[in-house]
C-alpha cells in the first residue's frame, strides 16, 4: 500500500539528516480504508519510542497524498540477508541469531505493554513479524518495522473480522483457523524467524498459498538441530516452545522469551552483540556490490526483475497489479509482465557464506 524513499531532512540552521519517507501509493491515496490504515500506522508509530523499533518522526498530507517521515536504517532487511543465505542453505551463527531474536523480543515486549500518556494500555499486537520487517543496520542495530497491520486501541480503522493480515508463512495457526488471538501470535512468528535463521531454509513455505497455509496448521516442525548441529539443546527448547501450536503452551509474553534467550546467550556467548550483526551486514552488502560490478547495472536490474517476477507467480503477495509499461524500465521488462512482491528466494552466486556447521 506504500512506497519508501530515501531523503534528506533540512533543518533551519542548514543541518541535514537522512530519513526515510513512506508514501501511500498514488493509486490508493484516495481510498478511504488504505488512507485510514496508513494514518493509524503513523499515529501509532509516533507513540512508540524504543531502540529496537523504527521511529516515526512526523506524518502529514503533501500534494494530495499522505506521508510518514521515518528513521532511516542504513543497511538491509533480514529477509534480503536470509534470501541470499537460504539459496545456499547457509545458517546464521547461533549466537548472532539469538542476539537478533533478543532485540526483536525487546521491541515486542515494549510494544505489547505500551501505554499512552494517560497510562491506558494500548493493546498492541504487531501481526506482521517476519524477516521482511526486521531491519539490520550497518551499525549493528536491529529494528522492528511496519506496524501497518498492527492491532491497537488507538486505531480508528474498522476492519472486518474476516480480514487476515500478514504474510502466510509467518502466521500463527490460530490466525488461519480464525480463532481468538492475542500477543502470542507475534511470539509464534518470532519463533519462525529464529528457526529459519538457524536452519538455513524456510519453515512453512509451500509451492503455493494453499500448501503454505496447510503447513502452518499441520506440518511437523522438524528440530532445528537436524539442519544445524551447532544448535544446543537449550536453544532447541526455546525454538520448540515459541513454535508450540497450542498458544497456552507457547511463551506467554515477549519478556519470557527474552529472558530465556538472555540465559542461553549467557551460556553460549556473552559477548555477542551489534558488532556481529554489523559484520554480517557488511559481508552481505559487499557480496551484492561484487555482483553489481560483475554484472553491470542494467544487467543486474534485468536479472533481479526476472527473478522477482518469476518468484511472484502464485505467491502470497500476488496482488494482481496492472501491467507496467516496459519503457518505465528502460525496455528491459517484457511487455505485460506484472511484477509483484514475492517471498521465495532466488539463488545468487558469489554470496559470502556466513557459517558452515561442519567446520
116 catalytic, yes or no? no
| Phi, psi at 289, each rounded to 5° | -65, -40
Element of type H or E holding 191: helix 184-199
Identify the burial level of 151 via C-beta atoms within 10 angstroms of its C-beta, where 0-12 means exposed, 13-18 middle and 19 or more buried.
buried
Query: Of these residues, 128, 186, 276, 351, which one is catalytic?
Result: 128
Q: Is the dihedral of CA 141, 142, 148, 154 positive or negative?
A: negative
The residues facing 236 across adjacent strands are none
Long-range contacts, stretch 155-161, CB < 8 angstroms, 24+ apart = 155/40, 155/43, 155/44, 156/36, 156/39, 156/40, 157/33, 157/36, 157/37, 157/40
Q: Is there a contact between 242 and 251 (Cβ–Cβ < 8 Å)?
A: yes
CA dist 43 and 289 (Å) reads: 37
Comparing CA positions, the residue from 322, 258, 290 lying closest to residue 84 is: 290
Q: Is there a contact between 352 and 344 (Cβ–Cβ < 8 Å)?
A: no
Comparing CA positions, the residue from 159, 203, 323, 186 lying closest to residue 258 is: 186
CA dist 81 and 73 (Å) reads: 15
Q: Is the dihedral of CA 70, 136, 80, 176 positive or negative?
A: negative
Q: Is there a contact between 268 and 98 (Cβ–Cβ < 8 Å)?
A: yes
- Residues 6 or more apart whose CB falls under 8 angstroms from that of 40 comprise 152, 154, 155, 156, 157
Comparing CA positions, the residue from 339, 342, 307 lying closest to residue 324 is: 339
Using the CB atoms, write b or e for 64-75: b if 16+ within 10 Å.
ebbbbbbbbbeb
Q: Is there a contact between 65 and 20 (Cβ–Cβ < 8 Å)?
A: no
Catalytic positions are 128
Amino acid at each position: 500500500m506504500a512506497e519508501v524513499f530515501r531523503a534528506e531532512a533540512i533543518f533551519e540552521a542548514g543541518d541535514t539528516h537522512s530519513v526515510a519517507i513512506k508514501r501511500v501509493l498514488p493509486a490508493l491515496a484516495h481510498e478511504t480504508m488504505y488512507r485510514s490504515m496508513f494514518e493509524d500506522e503513523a499515529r501509532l508509530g509516533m507513540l512508540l519510542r524504543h531502540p529496537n523499533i523504527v521511529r516515526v518522526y512526523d506524518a502529514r498530507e503533501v500534494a494530495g497524498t499522505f506521508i510518514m517521515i521515518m528513521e532511516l536504517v542504513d543497511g538491509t532487511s533480514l529477509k534480503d540477508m536470509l534470501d541470499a543465505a537460504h539459496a545456499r542453505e547457509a545458517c546464521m551463527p547461533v549466537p548472532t541469531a539469538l542476539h537478533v531474536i533478543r532485540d526483536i523480543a525487546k521491541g515486542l515486549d515494549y510494544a505489547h505493554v505500551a501505554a499512552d500518556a494517560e497510562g491506558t494500555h494500548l493493546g498492541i499486537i504487531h501481526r506482521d513479524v517476519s524477516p521482511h520487517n526486521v531491519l539490520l543496520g550497518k551499525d549493528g542495530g536491529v529494528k522492528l518495522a511496519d506496524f501497518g497491520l498492527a492491532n491497537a486501541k488507538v486505531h480508528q480503522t474498522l476492519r472486518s473480522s474476516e480480514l487476515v493480515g500478514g504474510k502466510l508463512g509467518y502466521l500463527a495457526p490460530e490466525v488461519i483457523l480464525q480463532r481468538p488471538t492475542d500477543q502470542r501470535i507475534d511470539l509464534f512468528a518470532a519463533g519462525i524467524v529464529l528457526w529459519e535463521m538457524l536452519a538455513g531454509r524456510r519453515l512453512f513455505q509451500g509451492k503455493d498459498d494453499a500448501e503454505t497455509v496447510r503447513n502452518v496448521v499441520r506440518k511437523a516442525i522438524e528440530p532445528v538441530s537436524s539442519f544445524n548441529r551447532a544448535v544446543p539443546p537449550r536453544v532447541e527448547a526455546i525454538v520448540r516452545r515459541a513454535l508450540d501450536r497450542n498458544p497456552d503452551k507457547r511463551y506467554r509474553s515477549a519478556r519470557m522469551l527474552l529472558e530465556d534467550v538472555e540465559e542461553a546467550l549467557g551460556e553460549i556467548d556473552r559477548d555477542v552483540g551489534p558488532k556481529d550483526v554489523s559484520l554480517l551486514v557488511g559481508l552481505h552488502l559487499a557480496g551484492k556490490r561484487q555482483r553489481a560490478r560483475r554484472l553491470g547495472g542494467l544487467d543486474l536490474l534485468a536479472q533481479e526483475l526476472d527473478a522477482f517476477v518469476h518468484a511472484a507467480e502464485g505467491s502470497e503477495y500476488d496482488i494482481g497489479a496492472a501491467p507496467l509499461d516496459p519503457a518505465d524500465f528502460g525496455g528491459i521488462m517484457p511487455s505485460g509482465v506484472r511484477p509483484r512482491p514475492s517471498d521465495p528466494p532466488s539463488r545468487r552466486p558469489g554470496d559470502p557464506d556466513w557459517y558452515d556447521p561442519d567446520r
